[in-house]
Chain A
Amino acid sequence: MKSLFKRNILKYGLTLGSAALLLSACGGEESASESGAATEGEDGRTTLEFWSFWGSGSRRDAIEDIISDYNESQEEVTVEYVYQPWGDIWTKSLAAIAGGNAPDVIVQDINSVKQRAEANQATNIQEYLDEDDISENFYPQLWDTVLYEDEAYALPFNTDTQVLFYNKTAFEEAGLDPEDPPSTWAELEEAARALDQGSGDNWEQIGFYPRWNLGADIWALNADNGVSWFNEEGDIRINTPEKVEALEWMLEWQDYYGRDTINQYEAEFGSGVSDPFISGLVAMRGQNINYYTNLLENAPDDFEYGVAPLPEKEEGSGHWSWGGGFVLEIPGNTEHPEESYDFMKYLSSTEVQEQFGMNSFDIMANTEANENLQSHPELDEMGHRIYELADANLDVTTITPVPLNAPDFSSLVNAEIDAAFLGEKSAEEALNDAQEAVENLAE
């Protein structure tokens, strides 16, 4: 009995013990070979860790080329690229900042720079800009997003803007001029009616529906002179007459096609696998200009399409659009902000921006890079057209940074807009209630 007992202790003890040993062995090795923050390498170079979500494909290849060029161009710093999954990268960076082992440079969402600046999650880089002001290199509204209390906390990297994609073949079949896309809401409606095929529950082609791929917020902003739910001064502008009108206009579209039709389409295409535009079921759609890459990769070779600015509410009201993008940021409390800034500056330089844009078809934050890409010898005609349109569109593109006093206001507004689309409230009631709810939150 006693020996049995001993043997068992020994057996389980050994299993557990060896497991622990093995673990600490591989653990020790790993923690020696790396750590979150920057370190001095053997060659006396400082190692910087750079996080982004470009995990595979052309973006990853492009950024790796760019980084290895940088590492070869100087002898002070070695940049190490680490891929982190899209979206989750920011959860991880938040934990890392709290734990004190954040990366040296990270690609962040453009809309929440102020929020992170306020919470010390981003490092103030104003001193480097005071030495060499490069703010002029970027589109002005992008630059505005990186300022918190008039000091800079990030450098814009790339951006995007919403435009209208339309099927040229469908235009021709409907007797419309494929070179003259609709320019106002009225023309848009007219074109859609010409493109519509079907009725009631049964549609073979839908000309246009405003709320697919674009939120109600974008049309509200389009109607209201580019002013979003919050204006630049931070005032709440939800129930303006223009926005009420925009919501009424969207409700008319829903009534026209019928809620069942809309729901059916959203159920079938909402997951983003099948593409109704490429499949010819939808003839026009408002969409992020990045959608160009999807068309390039996934559309049949004979698929003919055009791009145009979003139609304006009425002539002269402006083709206002909405955009987003990403910035380069130094997380709070890192050891080498100066070296990190130098690398960020390199990434935002015209040459590098051009190289990244050419490989990814991203719209870059650097104005000169986009201008160069409009006539870049390695891009085709459509590529030139995309950069041309993007560059022009950015003059009327609003970026909507998260308001500091109500960062999570959008679920309040969305719920009211949903109520309007469900027929529970009129457009005006819905937006009035939303205005009130957000005012309460912002207090």
Chain B
Amino acid sequence: MIESSKTKYVQESDSSSSTSKTKYFKSKKKQDRNGKILVYIVLILVSVLLLSPLVWMVSTSLKPMQEIVRFPPTFIPETIVWQNYVDTVQSFPFFKYMGNTLIITIFVVLGNVLSNSFIAYGFAKIEFPGKKVLFALVLATMMVPGFVTMIPQYILFTRINWVGTYLPLIVPSFFGSAFNIFLLRQFYLSINNELIEAAKIDGANHLYIWSHLMIPLTKPALITVGIMSFNGAWNDFLGPLLYITDESMYTLQIGLQSFSNQSTTQWNYLMAGATLVLIPSILLFFFAQKYFIEGMDLTGGTKG
């Protein structure tokens, strides 16, 4: 019975994504093509602007320091120093720190996606007394500036002996974060209740509806939360700085800071390191996007 309501939905989405072009006149097509070219021009122009810091980063990462300090700056390095990357990776335990960062990040992403969608479902689709008050509490936790709770929170984690471990960085993400709860609640609210009612009549409980209906239906939203959590944890600096005490447990962002001190900055190494750190984020976003296209009927065709 449950299976049937699920397959019904799947069938629906399949048929809507199948393309069958009818009803379109040639003039409309031509107009579309002109529009397309315009869109490309806009996209390319904006892309150039948006990419400029990345180009500058990569170009700086390949220059010797003597060239970096020169003015006017060279756009393409006159001398390309690949050695910068080797030096960067060797000047601190780069791959060890990368592994550390990855461990934290994987748990945080897992925790965030699971807990927030779970909690958000409760707020969006189940009626229970005190819901409004609790949700107001969720929103309130976003409004407290982090600085003032930072020290008491640190003291708290010291008392339970978590300082010096990854626990303060990971465990809270398994209990939801206000921004993500709120976001997913909004997504869930816009999902038709009929689907849930139908599943209920078929005998499904909320846990089943959440895991077998909501999660598949809101994949793009969950991927979004996943991407944001990944970038948040991957680039987090203050958390690891405060809670990690052992240098062998440091993360990449802390390692990168070692290229700046009170009087000098090793721009070439700093930029090489920053470029390496950026690559996983870019790859993740690039590949996670396929979930944003799935189910889209993009050629503008109509359903039969």
Contacts and interface: CB of A to CB of B under 8 A. Distances in A.
A27 B162 contact: yes
Contact of B163 (A24, A36, A86, A290): A36
B20 interface: no
A273 B151 contact: no
Nearest to A287: B263
B83 interface: no
B247 interface: yes
Interface in A86-113: 86, 88, 91-92, 94-96, 98-101
A99 B155 contact: yes
Interface string A1-28: 1001100110010011001100110110
A30 B165 contact: yes
A88 B260 CA distance: 12
B245 interface: yes
Contacts of A31: 161-162, 164-165
B263 A288 contact: yes
A19 B110 contact: yes
Interface in B222-247: 237-238, 241-242, 245-247
State the majority secondary structure of interface residues on A.
Answer: helix
Interface stretch (B123-131, B167-175, B280-288): B167-175
B163 A101 contact: yes
B289 interface: no
B96 to A, nearest CB: 14
Contacts of B2: 1, 4
Interface residues of B, number: 58
Contacts of A35: 164, 245
B66 A98 contact: no
A95 B258 contact: no
Contacts of B276: none
Contacts of B238: 88
A5 B207 contact: yes
Contacts of B247: 82-83
Contact of B208 (A8, A96, A294): A8
A16 to B, nearest CB: 7
Contacts of B92: 55-56
Nearest to A27: B165
Contacts of B5: none
Contacts of B150: 95
A293 B65 contact: no
A44 B304 CA distance: 82
Contacts of B167: 23-24, 27
A144 to B, nearest CB: 21
A297 B67 CA distance: 11
Nearest to A280: B71
A300 interface: yes
Interface string B256-286: 0111111111110000000000000000000
B163 A99 contact: yes
A30 B71 contact: no
Contacts of B171: 23
Given A85-B241, A288-B263, A33 B258 contact: no
Contact of B107 (A5, A19, A84, A291): A19
A231 interface: no
B98 interface: no
Given A19-B174, A83-B258, A95-B151, A279 B69 contact: yes
A275 B261 CA distance: 17
A265 to B, nearest CB: 10
19 contacts: A1-B203, A4-B208, A8-B211, A19-B111, A19-B174, A24-B167, A30-B249, A54-B261, A85-B258, A88-B237, A92-B241, A92-B242, A95-B151, A99-B157, A268-B71, A274-B69, A276-B71, A279-B70, A300-B66
Given A23-B170, A274-B71, 5 more contacts: A19-B110, A27-B166, A30-B246, A98-B154, A99-B157
Interface of B: 2, 60, 65-66, 68-73, 91-92, 107, 110-111, 114, 150-151, 154-155, 157-158, 161-167, 170-171, 174, 203-205, 207-208, 211, 237-238, 241-242, 245-247, 249, 254, 257-267
